């Protein structure tokens, strides 16, 4: 299994809603990542978990809250988002921190 699975594929939410994005990999990878990507722009790093510990937070607003329940799962909890947070949210994993990333297909998020 060489896949990173993200759910849901699409999400529409209001600014007062609470929702969660989920990511799963079964490759035994020990590093997992959240990226945000706006249209026609490169992915922007948000968070990195290494061995289930948060190792990097790129000054992301607290309305985004990551969670790594175990080595295979990564969640991104969303609360009180703004319309400008609408974007494609990508999850990725790598065997260790300095190897190639495997990406999921992303969650296309729209905040109304």
Partner 1 sequence: GESVGLHLPTLSVQEGDNSIINCAYSNSASDYFIWYKQESGKGPQFIIDIRSNMDKRQGQRVTVLLNKTVKHLSLQIAATQPGDSAVYFCAENTKTSYDKVIFGPGTSLSVIP
State which residue, 80 or 88, has the beta carbon closest to partner 1. 88
CB of 77 to partner 1, least distance (A): 21
State which residue, 56 or 80, has the beta carbon closest to partner 1. 56
CB of 90 to partner 1, least distance (A): 5
Q: Which residues bind partner 1 (CB under 8 A)?
A: 4, 31, 33, 40-45, 48, 50, 55-56, 90, 92, 96-98, 100-106
Beta strand segments in the chain, E: 4-7, 10-13, 18-25, 31-37, 44-50, 53-57, 64-70, 73-79, 87-94, 102-103, 107-111
Around Cβ 111, how many Cβ atoms within 10 Å? 19
């Amino acid at each position: 299994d060489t896949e990173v699975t993200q759910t849901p594929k699409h999400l529409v939410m209001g600014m007062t809603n609470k929702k969660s994005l989920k990511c799963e990999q079964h490759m035994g990878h020990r590093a997992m990542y959240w990226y945000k990507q706006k249209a026609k722009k490169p992915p922007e790093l948000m968070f990195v978990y290494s061995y289930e510990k948060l190792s990097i937070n790129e000054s992301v607003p607290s309305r985004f809250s990551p969670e790594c329940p175990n080595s295979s799962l990564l969640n991104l909890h969303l609360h009180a988002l703004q319309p400008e947070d609408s974007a494609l949210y990508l999850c990725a994993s790598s065997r260790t921190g300095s190897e190639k990333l495997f990406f999921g297909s992303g969650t296309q998020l729209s905040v109304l």
